[in-house]
Amino acid sequence: MKKYLIVLLFGGMLFGCEDANTKKERFFLKGNVKLNEGQLKDAINYYDESLEIDPNYVDALNNRGIAFLKDQKEYKAIEDFTLIIDNNPDNKDALFNRATAFLDVKEYYRCLADIKVLISLGHHEPKVYMTEGIANTELKRYDAAISSFDKIIVKNPNDAEALTNRGTVYYYQNKYELAIKDLDQARKINPDEANIYNVLSLIYEKKQDFENALDEIDKALALQPRNAYFLNNKGFLLLSMNKPEQAEEFINESISEDPLNAWAYRNKGIYYYQIKNYEESIRLINKSLKMDKNIVDGSKYLGLAYYDNGNVAKACETWQKGNNQQLLDSLCNK
C-alpha cells in the first residue's frame, strides 16, 4: 500500500477583506479537506484555485500531485512534482512522491534516480528503501532488492511488509527455505496480509506440495476474493494438479478483473493445451508473450502446443529461442 505525503497548513482567523496569501491558503485548506474525504475532483479544483493565485505554491502543487496520483492520473502528478523539483531539487516530499508515481507507471529507472537523490541527501526512511526495493524487484535486480529490504529489516526486524517483500524476492531466486522463513515471520506479525499466503502457495506449488499450496491460496482469497493475481495463481495451481475444468473458472475471473495480466493469458493457454485445443492454446500463449516477452515458461508451453499440434519444426524453433534445452534434447535433438 502506497503512503502519500500530505502537508497540511492551518491558517489563523480571517478578519475583513482577504489578501492574496490568505485567499490561496483558504482554497488550499479546502482542497485538503476534500482530499482527506476522497473527493479527488473537488480537491483538485480547490488546488487549482489556490495555484491560480500563486502558481509556485509548493504545498498546493504537492497535494494536487497527490490527488492526481490517487485519481490514477500519474503523469499529471509527475508534472506537479517536477515543477517543485525544478525550483527546489532537494525537496524530499516531491522527490519521494515523484518516485512513487514513476513506480506506478513502471518507469523504474526514473524511480530509482529520484530515490538515489533522496538517499544522497541523507533520507534513509524505510519508505525510501521500500520503494527502491520494489523498483529493483520489478527490474529483476534481485540482489539489489534484497539489499534494500535488508536495510529496513536491520533497523526493524518486525517490519512485516519488508519481510514479505524480501521473502517474495527469495521465491523469485528459488531460495524457498529463506522465503518461507521470512514469510512465516511476516505472518506472525501481520496475519491479515494476503500476499504472504499467495507467495507461500506459489512456493508449495514449486515443491509439488499441492495440499499446502491450496490451503495457502485459499487463505489469500479469503482476505481478497477479487484479487486478479490470487485468482490466476489458484487457476495455475489447479492446472498443476491436472484439473483444467476447475482451473478455468478462476483464470476467467482473473482476466475479468484484470484484462492486462499476461500471466492469466499464459495460464488460459495452458488450460487449452491440457484439454487438447492446441490452436487456441497457441493463440493465447502467443498473446501472453506479446504482452510480456519474458513470461516464465511461455516458450515451453508454446512449443508443446506446436509439437502436439503436429508442427515439430515450429516447436523446436520456439524452444531454441526460449533456451528450453531439456525439451530440445528430448524432442528435437534425437
Q: What is the mean pLDDT of each run of 10 residues along the chain (334 residues)?
A: 36 51 91 94 95 94 95 96 96 96 96 98 96 96 98 97 97 96 97 96 95 97 97 97 97 96 96 97 97 91 95 94 90 83
Q: What is the pLDDT of residue 76?
A: 97
> Does the global pTM surpass 0.95?
no
Q: What is the pLDDT of residue 18?
A: 57
Give the three cell numbers for residue 160: 512485516
Q: What is the pLDDT of residue 294?
A: 85
Q: What is the pLDDT of residue 21?
A: 83
C-alpha angle 295/214/293, rounded to 5°?
Answer: 5
Q: What is the pLDDT of residue 2?
A: 40
Residues 235, 237: Cα–Cα separation, whole Å: 5
Cell match 503512503: residue? Answer: 3
Three-state DSSP class for residue 8: coil
Dihedrals phi, psi of 263, to nearest 5 degrees: -60, -35
Q: What is the pLDDT of residue 49?
A: 94
Q: What is the pLDDT of residue 332?
A: 93
